[in-house]
Amino acid sequence: MKTQNNLLYIDKEALATLAMARDGLLKPVTSLMNRQETIEVNKTGLFKGEIFPFPFILAPSGKRNKQVLETAIKGDILKLICNNEEVGMITVDEIFTINKDDRVKQIYGTNSESHLEANDTAKRLGNLAICGEYTIEFNDIKEHIQQIDQMATNVEAKSISALILSGKPFHRVHERLIRSAMDKCDMLIILLKKPYKDDELSYDVRFKTIEFFLERFVAKDRVLLLPLENTYIFGGVNELTLNAIVSKNYGADTLLLGQNHTGLGAYWDHNQLISRVDTLEKIHIRIKLFNEFVYCNKCTTLVSTNTCSHGSHHHVKYDKDTIMELFRLGIIPPSILIRKEISSMVLADLFPERKEKLERIHQNISTSAGVIDVFKSEDFYDGLMDLYHTSSLT
């Protein structure tokens, strides 16, 4: 093959997804599937006798990729290019045609153009898939596995739970879930969804807010916060299944789910209503469902809706969309919803252009210890919340 025809262009999502398979997070899948394996998984939803919801294939879009795949033959070595840098290589074993519409429908449950994520994935797919042994430069997951193994050894963990969060935003119910989880296991892995698209609330600030809580309020030697490479394969109706597979392969024996976890629910199969949780039995990981938590103004604390005797009209719900709407308006949510320090981090991230004005206001309404520090927007929001809690003049 000519040199200019041995380049295969992939994006960061594809690179991260290939790394997840290579490093064992998607077991039983550890490599790209060939044509026969693809047909079998399409038919049964099983791979090597274990659940896997759709074929694991690489079918990149683009004219250049199409030309390369149409001319490549078995044994050719193709260089993998991501963001104009060589990130690995793949030795061609087989190249075969796929049905893009069916592929998208397998992942998302629909191939409608009105479904934004499905439509976006369709644009990333080509009509030709390639399989073969590959090598890539992506070591993050290996490092995470080492961190888990080290902590498990240090605390002599016999029970490990996994909790998957988006943290948009991280609120008091998340804190309760973490505390409850740590009461029932030796070690907790928190997997924070790391998107590959721009998000209203950046991944960095979401990680920072959870890290703040863990550093100050729980036994941090028993909990590990790690990114979950939230690539397109997690975007559809099979998210729960893949969450369970990844959690198990990270070493967890229990997956913790809130009532609002994406993918919970049921579907019809052969005239039977099947719970998606029930389908996870073959993955051999326990599933623990948490009840809904609310703030009750009679109990004056966070309570489970299953145990509180007061009616829903006494309950303040922890609705993430409502809380984010407060943030969009520049309003600090009440501390019963989110810690003031975390609210400060979120607002500073959402409104970086306010810093200069906030500094001037802060100088006039805040007290100091006589030490001059570099001003951060968070200082203003923290100070303002302190003033709100100051008792009235006597």
Span 228-279, pLDDT tens digits: 999 989 887 888 899 999 999 999 999 998 766 555 554 334 444 345 566 6
pTM value is 0.88
What's the maximum distance between 2 C-alpha atoms anywhere in the chain?
Answer: 86
| pLDDT higher than 90, residue 113 | no
Q: Return residue ranges of the chain for CATH 3.10.400.10.
A: 3-136
Q: Give the separation between CA 367 and CA 195, rounded to whole angstroms.
A: 40
Range from 16-25, 101-110, 139-148, 225-234 carrying the lowest mean pLDDT: 101-110
| pLDDT higher than 80, residue 3 | no
Q: What is the pLDDT of residue 355?
A: 83
Q: What is the pLDDT of residue 260?
A: 62
| Residue 381 pLDDT level (bands cut at 50, 70, 90) | confident
| Residue 175 pLDDT level (bands cut at 50, 70, 90) | very high
| Residue 386 pLDDT level (bands cut at 50, 70, 90) | confident
Q: What is the pLDDT of residue 383?
A: 82
| Residue 369 pLDDT level (bands cut at 50, 70, 90) | low
| Mean pLDDT (whole number) for 128-155 | 96
Predicted confidence (pLDDT) per residue in 16-62, tens digit: 999 999 999 999 999 999 999 999 999 999 999 999 999 999 999 99
Class of domain 3-136: alpha beta
Maximum average pLDDT range among 105-109, 175-179, 353-357:
175-179
As a whole-number percent, the residues of the chain with pLDDT over 70 amount to 91
> Which candidate, 8, 301, 299, 252, places its Cα nearest to that of 152?
252
In CATH, what is the architecture of 141-289?
3-Layer(aba) Sandwich (3.40)
Q: What is the pLDDT of residue 278?
A: 63
Instruction: Please provide residue 26's backbone torsions phi and psi, each rounded to the nearest 5 degrees.
Output: -110, 15
Q: Return residue ranges of the chain for CATH 3.40.50.620.
A: 141-289
> Which candidate, 248, 250, 259, places its Cα nearest to that of 52?
248
